[in-house]
Amino acid sequence: MTHLVMTHLHFEAIANDPVVLRRYWAGNYLRGALGQILLRTTCSEYGWRSTPPPPEHTANCPACWLLTHRLDPGHARRAYSLVPPLPPVERVEPGQRFHFTLTLYGESWQFLPYFVLAVGQMGYEGVGVGRGRFTVRSITARNPLRQREEVILAPGEDLVKVPELAVTWGDALRPAAPPSAAAVTLHFLTPTRLIDDQRLAKAPDFAPFFRRLLRRLDDLRVQFAAELPRDLAQVARLHQAADEVQRVEAAIHWIEMIPRSGRDGREKPLSGFVGWVAYRATDWEPLWPYLQLGQALQVGKNVTKGNGVYQIAPLAVGPAYWQADAFSHSA
């Protein structure tokens, strides 16, 4: 159980120019432009520097807080993640619409105005190859587990409402676990980069995937929900349950992406696997809420750049988590 809340902000945009996103590179382009604009427009002291700001500055600067949170490499998690257009698009022609999502964790929803202004400026300045410009048409807060959405910026309006709709642990308990020994298929929609025992995992076995997912959830809830670390005995029980899950079928391929950082010039791999994997467990019950909630969290490295997006193949009638085209409006 956790009190951590996740707010999905779903942006619908219209291309003014050709917007070239190069499929799986889209998250990197969107995150790079967003970060540059946040720092440049919000942080006059460290926005132009390559050196990280001190913790006392980060605590009082929205841009640095969002982009570097607590400056604890390898342990601290960023306060947001990004989901690029799905399915991946190569190019958006003028007049066409495209979508992307920012997920804010815990208290970071209070910085919604900074994100909205930054995305609007990002559209004005352009993004992707050739800096194609776009206009934000609408923003909705979404909860795919409830199939609900709340309009926080309607088309043609300027007033942004405070979102009330968020994904919670209670929502993750709503879908019933599949029967014992049933096969469950996970679709990895963007490159997923998992490090298992200091090695890059190119084969998506369930145990290393679940370990990284659980660690990510626990780090986020400690940082952004002020919760205590999980009991080690419970961690061991969940790990043991994950170890018993078997991979039964898969269709995956590796996407190689190695961009160079614009701040320090170093190569920073975004490579990972995409495709689908079917798993079978003797008992899904203890793992099921974590798999459901994990769809909102993303998993592995570079989630702020759009990596690690996955969804569970629907077990009954209804849309999948990240490819639901229509929701009911919340009251």
CATH code, 279:
3.30.70.1900
Percent of the chain clearing pLDDT 70 (strictly above):
86
Helix (H, G, I), strand (E, B) or coil at 123: helix
157-162's contacts with Cβ under 8 Å and 24+ in sequence apart are: 160/112, 160/113, 160/116, 162/112
Q: Could you tell me if 158 and 136 lie in one domain?
A: yes
Q: Could you tell me if 163 and 190 lie in one domain?
A: no
Q: Could you tell me if 83 and 140 lie in one domain?
A: yes
Q: Could you tell me if 89 and 132 lie in one domain?
A: yes
Structural domain range at position 18:
6-169
Residue reference for tokens 């659980």: 214
Q: Could you tell me if 120 and 238 lie in one domain?
A: no
Banded model confidence at residue 52, pLDDT cuts 50, 70, 90? low
Q: Using the 3D structure, point to which of 125, 140, 169 is the last residue of a domain.
A: 169
Average pLDDT, the chain: 87
Banded model confidence at residue 77, pLDDT cuts 50, 70, 90? confident
Is the residue at 319 inside a domain?
no
Q: Give the per-residue pLDDT at 170.
A: 95
Q: Could you tell me if 93 and 215 lie in one domain?
A: no
- Strand arrangement, sheet containing 272-280: 246-255, 272-280, 183-192, 310-312
Q: Give the per-residue pLDDT at 71.
A: 45
Q: Give the per-residue pLDDT at 73.
A: 47
Q: Give the per-residue pLDDT at 76.
A: 63
| pLDDT tens per residue across span 130-142 | 999 999 999 999 9
Q: Could you tell me if 146 and 210 lie in one domain?
A: no
Banded model confidence at residue 331, pLDDT cuts 50, 70, 90? very low
**Alpha carbons 94 and 126: distance in angstroms, whole number:** 13
Q: Give the per-residue pLDDT at 22.
A: 96
Is the residue at 318 inside a domain?
no
| pLDDT tens per residue across span 137-184 | 999 999 999 999 999 999 988 888 988 899 999 999 988 899 888 899
Greatest alpha-carbon pair distance for the chain in Å reads 57
Is the residue at 204 inside a domain?
yes
Banded model confidence at residue 17, pLDDT cuts 50, 70, 90? very high
Q: Could you tell me if 28 and 103 lie in one domain?
A: yes
Q: Give the per-residue pLDDT at 75.
A: 53
Say yes or no to pLDDT of 51 above 70: no
Task: Give how many domains the chain has, as a whole number.
Answer: 2
Q: Using the 3D structure, point to which of 137, 169, 201 is the last residue of a domain.
A: 169
Q: Using the 3D structure, point to which of 169, 203, 221 is the last residue of a domain.
A: 169
Say yes or no to pLDDT of 70 above 70: no
Is the residue at 158 inside a domain?
yes
Is the residue at 160 inside a domain?
yes
Say if strands 6-15 and 97-105 run parallel, antiparallel, or are unpaired: antiparallel
Say yes or no to pLDDT of 317 above 60: no
Say yes or no to pLDDT of 20 above 70: yes
Is the residue at 325 inside a domain?
no
| pLDDT tens per residue across span 228-270 | 999 999 999 999 999 999 999 999 999 999 877 655 567 778 9
Distance, CA of 17 to chain centre: 26
Q: Could you tell me if 147 and 276 lie in one domain?
A: no
Is the residue at 329 inside a domain?
no
Q: Could you tell me if 152 and 178 lie in one domain?
A: no
Q: Could you tell me if 83 and 113 lie in one domain?
A: yes
Q: Could you tell me if 135 and 197 lie in one domain?
A: no
Distance, CA of 143 to chain centre: 14
